[in-house]
């Protein structure tokens, strides 16, 4: 008896990683696949957390939970590649270079911001510290599995990103204390100095490893430096780069800087002036990360121009819409609708900016960002087309598991206010 | 001689026609779907604008050739949106420096009229977004902030733009001071009580003085009166006499309650601007006919609240019959995007508000709240011709504004943002060609 019980317990423990992953089928909805058009009256089956099948005439395997979504719209879970939710700390604003700061060490999966963001159909975010430091630390890409253990929340195997910040913020934070950097020249110097030191650090370690391999005796390893460790890994492309900057000259600067040091620059965030150098960004293959129509909230944001996305579209610049905020993060689909107001960008391309493009900017486009067989079962269900401003999210599913259900969690569903 | 008279008459009439043309455009909007919001039903019709006013709304209006005709077939004709609580005109852009929020706990005499910059970049950006009339405030961070004005977003001088001065005074029930009185919310209430008491005394003295001077007009010496003028008190007198309404900025249940107490106690013409916590008081507010500026749609609810509590609040306010509009969020860091006043309306419609009520909240309701409903807020004969032609409902965030008419004048659909677009589109394409 006791043995049998232990066996069952052991089996349960072995199965633990799958314990939350449910099998589920959504039946009868309009499926916006993002990569393969729209399927009317379609069905999507998720098994073991992945999309098992999808289409018009799908046989749903026996015993699977079926949710009728007739008349509803299904899209891939929304992705926000620049936000600050679910973390306990903002800036280690004690030094302009703090690459030793790792944001998973501030991650709070029980943060209420996750619950509210889920209600906007968001399933994946890249969350990060602020922009006080030129080199601030390492971001963390997470699934919004509310209140789950951190190992379930952090996306395994993905290359995380080192965040840099240029412009007014580091200038202000350190300049006001009478320290450097207080100018854009200072920002550039701080960044260059750090990576030059990292190159030297990397060379020192390479020499040591080489000598060690050659069997040399009496070797003393170089001293470990945690700042340098992160930067060395960045030089080795084990981390990519997301750089916060507003102004055109800085955008060009960071692109050239990353070329100079051989760094993988994936996204430029807060990229207000991106449209002015759309061709340069397109050639570098770097993502525009930013808002649709924000402008003028600070000096360097003055030239924000919602029509600019049209120029970037024409130049072939890759674009993602970010919230940068726990407020807007709850309705990125509304931001996508505004793209259609100011540009002639097609609907599906606007939706890509909050799904597939965001996934690509986080190097997760093989797993999420579109509805395709084999991809993660991350889904947002809306009552109307997500670009219709009178829509709302009804359900948010991550890897087959329902994390938000309007029918249970809304004030309206209860038929009144509290 | 007779011939000369004829020539004179012809020249005279030409002159009259020419000057009438200069004053404002005569514009016919043809075949648009007219959504008047108030005073008529929606449907395809024509709308004629003459002398800055809406002169006719009916089918098949014919006009002489040479008159500007806008074909609005397939388009939607709405009244220009009216946005309250903005800083448009005093945002300091470009290159004027910020002119909101004068220093001081009590600055009731601050008047945006004294700082309005007709070149403020926000004016063009906002009006091409379909907002034609705004309520600009002097500030929001002090306990007593000052006056607020109504502007049409067209004109080269402040006098041309401002249609009403001192439409409301602005109090902030949560504007506690750091390390000086009042540093708490009850402190703010007693501070306001003290100021309102002083204003009542001042008003009483003034009226006694006025009566006295009426009686002894010849013997009184006016000099004495002028030496005792108190500009702050003068600004508060119309508040305590109920002639000018007060917007109470509140951000919590406590500050809403305190505002309601002051409104009752001093019989003020109060308007509640609420950031949260309004539903608990909705019945009381509806009963007292107190208008509401609802600012909390996009606020993130508390941990213990449903995620959509604030999304749903406008629907409840409408159900209870509260006269409400949405806050533009336009006097703080977000002040550049007053054009996005349709965002909270859209969210509210998604969560239960009727589209009709949402449209009223963006047009006629703010006009009613600020006492300008006879002039703007709907498409009705005789009203100021503030009109926007949209590709769809303003409730849809993808809808574009194609034409804007303010005070009967067709507005160029350009702003510094469209100019940046034109400039850099050319630059980027030229660089691409070279490669």
Q: What does the alpha-carbon distance between residue A131 and residue A90 come to, in Å, rounded to a whole number?
A: 9
Q: Which of A279, A307, A411 sits opposite B308 (nearest CB)?
A: A411
* Token pair 């030409």: residue: B14
- Same-domain pairing of B269 and B407: no
Question: What tens digit of pLDDT does each residue of B412-425 get?
Answer: 999 999 999 999 99
Lowest model confidence (mean pLDDT) among A82-86, A258-262, B226-230: B226-230
Contact B169, B144 (CB under 8 A): yes
Amino acid A412: pLDDT: 74
Q: How confident is the model at residue B79 (pLDDT cuts 50, 70, 90)?
A: very high
The DSSP symbol for B265 reads: H
Residue A414 has pLDDT above 80, yes or no: no
Domain boundary among B374, B409, B427: B374
Co-location of B324 and B200 in the same domain: yes
* Residues B204 and B294 placed together within one structural domain of the fold: yes
In chain A, the number of structural domains is 2
Q: Measure A191 CA to nearest chain B CA, in Å.
A: 28
Of the residues B374, B397, B425, the one at which a domain ends: B374
CB burial of residue A147 (10 Å; 0-12, 13-18, 19+): middle
Question: Residue B9 domain-assigned?
Answer: no
Q: Taking CB atoms and an 8 Å limit, are B396 and A337 in contact across chains? A: yes
pLDDT digits (tens, 9 = 90+) for A125-169: 999 999 999 999 999 999 999 999 999 999 999 999 999 999 999
Domain around B48: 24-80+377-435
Same domain, B144 and B240: yes
Q: Return the minimum-mean-pLDDT range out of A89-103, A376-390, B81-95.
A: B81-95
The answer on A120 and A44 residing in a single domain is no
pLDDT at B15 over 60: no
B259 and B349 in a single domain? The answer is yes
With tokens 């009166």, the residue in question is: B225
Interface of A with B in 316-335 (CB under 8 A): 326-327, 330-331, 334
- CATH number of the domain residue B414 falls in: 2.30.40.10
pLDDT value of position B20:
45
Do A54 and A149 belong together in one domain? Answer: no
CA R_g for chain A: 23
CA distance B434 to chain A (A): 11
User: Would you call B399 an interface residue with chain A, using a CB distance cutoff of 8 Å?
Assistant: yes
Q: Estimate the crossing angle of helix B416-434 against helix A308-315, to 10 degrees.
A: 10
- Tell me the nearest-neighbour CA distance from A329 into chain B, angstroms: 11
Distance from CA of A4 to the nearest CA of B (A): 43
Which among B121, B343, B351 is the nearest to A334, CB-wise? B343
Work out the minimum CA distance from B400 to partner chain A, whole angstroms: 5
Residue B155's CATH number: 3.20.20.140
Alpha-carbon dihedral B36, B39, B43, B45, rounded to 10 degrees: -80
Residue A342 has pLDDT above 70, yes or no: yes
pLDDT given at position B50: 97
Closest CA of chain B from A388, distance in Å: 7
Cβ–Cβ gap A311/B333 under 8 Å: no
Number of domains in chain B: 2
Q: Which of A297, A390, A409 sits opposite B350 (nearest CB)?
A: A390
Q: Is residue A376 domain-shared with residue A289, that is, in the same domain? A: no
- Average pLDDT of the segment spanning B217-240: 76
Q: Is residue A2 part of a domain?
A: no
Which whole number is the average pLDDT over B344-350? 98
Which residues of A are less than 8 Å from B336 in CB distance?
294-297
CB contact under 8 A, A115 and B300: no
Weakest-pLDDT range from A74-88, B51-65, B201-215, B235-249? B201-215
What is the residue range of A54's domain? Answer: 16-76+369-418
User: By percentage, how much of chain A surpasses pLDDT 70?
Assistant: 94
CA A347-A44-A371 angle, to 5 degrees, is 40
Whether B337 and B426 map to the same domain: the answer is no
Report the b/e string of A213-234 with b at 16+ CB within 10 A. eeeeeeeeeeeeeebbbbbbbb
For residues A276 and A326, membership in a common domain is answered with yes
Q: Is residue A7 part of a domain?
A: no
Among A112, A297, A338, the residue with its CB nearest the CB of B303 is: A112
Distance CA B335, CA B349 (A): 23
Give CA–CA dist A158/A169, Å, rounded. 29
Kindly state whether residue A384 falls inside one of the protein's structural domains: yes
**SS3 assignment, position B293:** strand
User: In terms of domains, do B192 and B292 share one?
Assistant: yes
CA B210 to mean position of chain CA atoms: 34
Gap between the Cα atoms of B94 and A372, Å rounded? 49
φ, ψ at B146 (rounded to 5°)? 135, -165
Q: Of B6-15, B136-145, B234-243, give the lowest mean pLDDT range.
A: B6-15
* Least confident interval from A15-29, A191-205, B68-82, B324-338: A15-29
CATH number of A260's domain: 3.20.20.140
pLDDT digits (tens, 9 = 90+) for A305-321: 999 999 999 999 999 99
A336 plus A286 within the same structural domain: yes
3-state secondary structure of A105: helix
Q: Which two tokens stand for residue B46?
A: 């024509």
Q: Which of A307, A340, A414 sits opposite B398 (nearest CB)?
A: A340
With contacts defined as CB-CB under 8 Å, which chain B residues touch A277? 428
CATH of residue A26: 2.30.40.10
CB B140 within 8 A of CB B112: no
Chain B closest CA to A9's CA: distance in Å?
A: 36
Distance CA B336, CA A86 (A): 28
**B200: how many CB neighbours lie within 10 A of its CB?**
17
Tell me the per-residue pLDDT of B348-386, one tens digit each, with 9 for 90 and over. 999 999 999 999 999 999 999 999 999 999 999 999 999
Answer yes or no: do A330 and B312 touch at CB < 8 A.
no
Mean pLDDT of the region A409-417 = 68
Whether B308 and A412 lie within 8 Å, measured CB to CB = yes
**pLDDT higher than 70, residue B333:** no
Contact A275/B at CB under 8 A = yes
Here the tokens at position B3 are 């011939």
B61 and B149 part of one domain? no
The average confidence (pLDDT) of chain A is: 94
Choose the final residue of a domain: A352, A367, A382.
Answer: A367
Check: CB of residue B377 under 8 Å from CB of residue B164: no
Q: Which residues contact B259 (CB under 8 A, 6 or more apart)?
A: B171, B173, B248, B250, B270, B272
CB of B313 less than 8 A from some CB of A = yes
Residues A359 and A392 in one domain: no
B309/A contact by beta carbon, under 8 A: yes
- Beta strand pairing status for B131-137 and B144-152? antiparallel
Pairing of β B162-172 and β A161-165:
unpaired
Q: What is the pLDDT of residues A274-313, one digit of tens each?
A: 999 999 999 999 999 999 999 998 999 999 999 999 999 9
- Tokens 């604008």 correspond to B49
**Could you say which DSSP state residue B45 is in?**
E
**pLDDT score, position A2:** 56
Rounded CA separation A64/B222 (Å): 91
Residue A22: per-residue pLDDT: 79
**A9 within a domain of the structure (yes/no):** no
**Which two structure tokens, joined as six digits, stand for A166?**
């240029």
Residue A237 predicted with pLDDT over 70: yes
**Contacts with A345 (C-beta within 8 Å, 6 or more apart), sequence order:** A309, A310, A313, A339
Q: Is the peptide bond before A181 cis (omega within 30 degrees of 0)?
A: yes
Q: How far is CA A116 from CA A279, A396, A416, B251, in A?
A: 37, 11, 19, 20
A359 and A380, same domain (yes or no) = no
Length of chain A: 418
What pLDDT shows up at residue B100?
87
On the 0-12 / 13-18 / 19+ scale of CB atoms within 10 A, B311 is buried
CA atoms of B23 and A185, how far apart (whole Å): 53
Assess if residue B4 is contained within a domain: no
* Cα A104 from chain centroid (whole Å): 14
Sign of CA pseudo-dihedral A353, A116, A139, A98: positive
A348 and chain B: CB distance < 8 Å anywhere? no
Query: What is residue B225's predicted lDDT score, i.e. its pLDDT?
Result: 53
Instruction: Based on the fold, state whether residues B143 and B56 are members of the same structural domain.
Output: no
Task: Look at residue A4 and tell me if it is in a domain.
Answer: no
From B374, B404, B423, give the residue that closes a domain.
B374
pLDDT at residue B282 greater than cutoff 90: yes
B199 and B341 within one domain: yes
Bridge partner list, A68: A27
Alpha helices in B338-405, H assignment, sequence order: 342-350, 355-362, 364-369
Residue contact A334–B347, C-beta within 8 A: yes
Domain assignment of residue A290, yes or no: yes
Q: Are residues B204 and B304 in the same domain?
A: yes
Token code pair at residue B68: 């500007």
Note the Cα A55 to chain centre separation in Å. Answer: 28
Q: B interface mutation test: which of A295, A386, A395 has the most B CBs within 10 A?
A: A295
Nearest to A387 among B316, B398, B400 (CB): B398
**Are residue A375 and residue A314 in the same domain, yes or no?**
no
pTM of the model: 0.93
pLDDT reported for residue B331: 75
Kindly give the pairing relationship between strand B81-86 and strand B131-137: parallel
Q: Quick one: B45 and B106 in the same domain?
A: no
Determine the pLDDT at residue B224: 54
Q: Give yes or no for a contact between A346 and A335, defined as CB atoms under 8 angstroms apart.
A: no
Instruction: Identify which has the larger pLDDT, B213 or B232.
Output: B232
Q: What are phi and psi of B151, to 5 degrees?
A: -120, 140
- Considering the domain architecture, whether residues A97 and A50 belong to the same structural domain is answered as no
- The two tokens of residue A409 are 């969690």
CA distance A217 to chain B (A): 55
Model confidence band, residue B328 (pLDDT cutoffs 50, 70, 90): confident
Q: With 60 as the cut, is the pLDDT of residue A37 above it? A: yes
Same domain, A247 and A342: yes
Question: A137 and A59 in one domain?
Answer: no
Q: What percent of chain A has pLDDT over 90?
A: 91
Identify whether A71 is part of a domain.
yes
- Sorting pLDDT into bands at 50, 70 and 90, what band is A365? very high
Instruction: Tell me the C-alpha to C-alpha distance, in Å, between residue B97 and each of A273, A295, B89.
Output: 22, 16, 11
Q: Which of A327, A345, A367 is the last residue of a domain?
A: A367
Confidence of residue B21 (pLDDT cuts 50, 70, 90): very low
CB contacts, 8 Å: B397 with chain A? 334, 337-338, 341, 389
Tokens 């990125």 label which residue? A332
- In contact, B45 and B387? CB cutoff 8 Å: no
Closest residue in A to B340 (Cα–Cα): A293
**Residue from the list B279, B417, B432 with its beta carbon closest to the beta carbon of A417:** B279
Whether B291 maps to a domain, the answer reads yes
Do the beta carbons of residue B121 and residue B416 sit within 8 Å?
Answer: yes
What is the rounded average pLDDT of the residues B86-90? 92
Chain B residue numbers touching A279 (CB-CB < 8 A): 428, 431-432, 435
A331–B347 C-beta distance less than 8 A: yes
pLDDT above 70: percentage of residues in chain B: 90
Q: Which pair of tokens denotes residue A138? A: 């390492």
Residue B296 is assigned to a structural domain of this protein: yes
A91 and A69 co-located in one domain? no
CB distance A303–B420 less than 8 Å?
A: yes
What does each C-alpha distance from B377 to B86, B108, B297, B357, B359 come to in angstroms? 17, 28, 22, 13, 10
Q: How many CA atoms lie within 13 A of B413 on its CB side?
A: 11
Q: Which of A306, A315, A331 sits opposite B432 (nearest CB)?
A: A315
Q: How does DSSP assign B174-223, residue by residue?
A: T-PPSSSS--SHHHHHHHHHHHHHHHHHHHHHHHHHHHHHHHTTTT--TH
pLDDT tens digits, one per residue of B100-126: 899 999 999 999 999 999 999 999 999
């Amino acid at each position: 008896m006791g043995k049998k019980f232990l066996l069952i317990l052991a089996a349960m423990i072995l199965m633990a990683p799958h314990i939350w992953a449910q099998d589920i089928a959504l039946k009868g909805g309009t499926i916006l696949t993002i990569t393969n058009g729209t399927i009317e009256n379609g069905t999507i089956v998720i098994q073991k957390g992945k999309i098992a099948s999808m289409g018009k005439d799908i046989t749903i395997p026996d015993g699977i939970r079926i949710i009728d979504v007739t008349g509803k719209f299904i899209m891939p879970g929304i992705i926000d590649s620049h936000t600050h939710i679910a973390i306990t700390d903002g800036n280690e604003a004690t030094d302009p270079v703090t690459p030793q700061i790792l944001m998973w060490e501030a991650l709070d999966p029980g943060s209420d911001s996750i619950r509210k963001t889920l209600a906007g159909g968001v399933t994946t975010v890249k969350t990060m510290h602020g922009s006080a430091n030129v080199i601030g630390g390492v971001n963390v890409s997470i699934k919004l599995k509310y209140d789950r253990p951190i190992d379930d929340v952090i996306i395994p195997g993905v290359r995380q990103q080192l965040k840099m910040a240029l412009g007014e913020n580091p200038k202000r934070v350190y300049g006001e204390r009478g320290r450097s950097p207080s100018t854009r020249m200072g920002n550039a110097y701080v960044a260059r100095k750090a990576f030059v030191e990292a190159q030297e650090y990397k060379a020192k370690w390479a020499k040591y490893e080489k000598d060690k391999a050659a069997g040399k005796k009496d070797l003393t390893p170089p001293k470990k430096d945690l700042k340098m460790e992160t930067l060395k890994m960045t030089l080795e492309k084990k981390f990519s780069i997301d750089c916060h900057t507003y102004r055109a000259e800085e955008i060009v600067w960071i692109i050239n800087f990353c070329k100079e040091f051989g760094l993988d620059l994936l996204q430029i965030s807060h990229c207000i002036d991106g449209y002015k150098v759309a061709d340069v960004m397109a050639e570098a293959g770097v993502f525009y990360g930013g808002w649709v129509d924000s402008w003028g909230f600070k000096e360097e944001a003055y030239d924000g121009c919602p029509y600019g996305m049209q120029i970037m579209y024409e130049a072939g610049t890759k674009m993602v819409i970010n919230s940068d905020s726990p407020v807007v993060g709850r309705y990125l689909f509304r931001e996508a609708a505004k793209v259609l107001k100011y540009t002639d960008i097609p609907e599906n391309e606007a939706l890509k900016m909050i799904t597939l493009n965001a996934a690509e900017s986080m190097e997760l486009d093989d797993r999420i960002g579109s509805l395709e067989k084999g991809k993660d079962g991350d889904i947002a269900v809306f009552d109307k087309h997500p670009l219709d401003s009178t829509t709302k999210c009804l359900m948010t599913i991550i890897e087959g598991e329902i994390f938000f259900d309007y029918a249970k969690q809304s004030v309206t569903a209860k038929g009144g206010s509290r | 001689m007779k011939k000369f008279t004829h020539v004179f008459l012809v020249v005279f009439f030409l002159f009259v026609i020419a000057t009438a043309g200069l004053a404002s455009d005569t514009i016919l909007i043809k075949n648009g779907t007219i959504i008047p919001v108030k005073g008529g039903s929606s449907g395809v019709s024509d709308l004629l604008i003459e002398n800055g006013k809406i002169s006719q709304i009916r089918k098949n209006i014919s006009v002489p050739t040479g008159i500007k005709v806008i074909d609005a077939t397939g388009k939607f004709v709405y009244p220009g949106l009216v946005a309250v609580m903005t800083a448009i005109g005093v945002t300091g852009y470009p290159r004027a420096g910020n002119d909101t929020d004068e220093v001081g706990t009590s600055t009731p005499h601050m008047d945006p009229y004294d700082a309005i910059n007709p070149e403020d970049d926000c004016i063009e950006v906002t009006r091409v977004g379909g907002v034609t009339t705004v309520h600009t405030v002097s500030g929001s961070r002090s306990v007593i902030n000052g006056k607020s004005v109504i502007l049409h977003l067209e004109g080269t001088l402040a006098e041309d733009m401002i249609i009403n001065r001192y439409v409301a005074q602005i109090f902030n029930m949560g504007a506690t001071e750091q390390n000086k009185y009042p540093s708490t919310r009850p402190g703010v209430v007693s501070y306001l009580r003290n100021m309102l008491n002083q204003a009542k005394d001042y008003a009483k003295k003034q009226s006694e003085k006025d009566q006295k001077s009426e009686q002894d007009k010849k013997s009184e010496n006016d000099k004495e009166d002028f030496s005792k003028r108190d500009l702050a008190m003068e600004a508060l007198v119309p508040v305590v006499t109920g002639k000018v309404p007060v917007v109470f900025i509140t951000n919590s249940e406590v500050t809403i309650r305190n505002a309601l107490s002051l409104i009752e106690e001093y019989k003020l013409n109060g308007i509640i601007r609420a950031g949260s916590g309004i539903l608990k008081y909705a019945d009381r507010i509806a009963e007292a006919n107190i208008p509401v500026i609802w600012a909390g749609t996009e606020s993130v609810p508390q941990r213990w609240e449903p995620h959509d509590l604030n999304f749903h609040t406008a629907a409840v306010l409408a159900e209870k019959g509260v006269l409400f509009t949405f806050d533009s969020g336009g006097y703080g860091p977000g002040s550049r995007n007053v054009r996005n006043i349709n965002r909270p309306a859209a969210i509210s419609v998604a969560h239960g508000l009727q589209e009709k009520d949402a449209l009223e909240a963006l047009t006629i309701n703010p006009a009613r709240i600020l006492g300008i409903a006879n002039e703007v807020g709907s498409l009705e004969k005789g009203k100021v011709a503030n009109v926007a032609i949209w590709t769809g409902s303003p409730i849809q965030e993808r809808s574009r504004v194609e034409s804007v008419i303010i005070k009967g004048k067709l507005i160029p659909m350009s702003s510094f943002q469209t100019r940046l677009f034109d400039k850099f589109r050319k630059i980027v394409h030229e660089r691409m060609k070279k490669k």
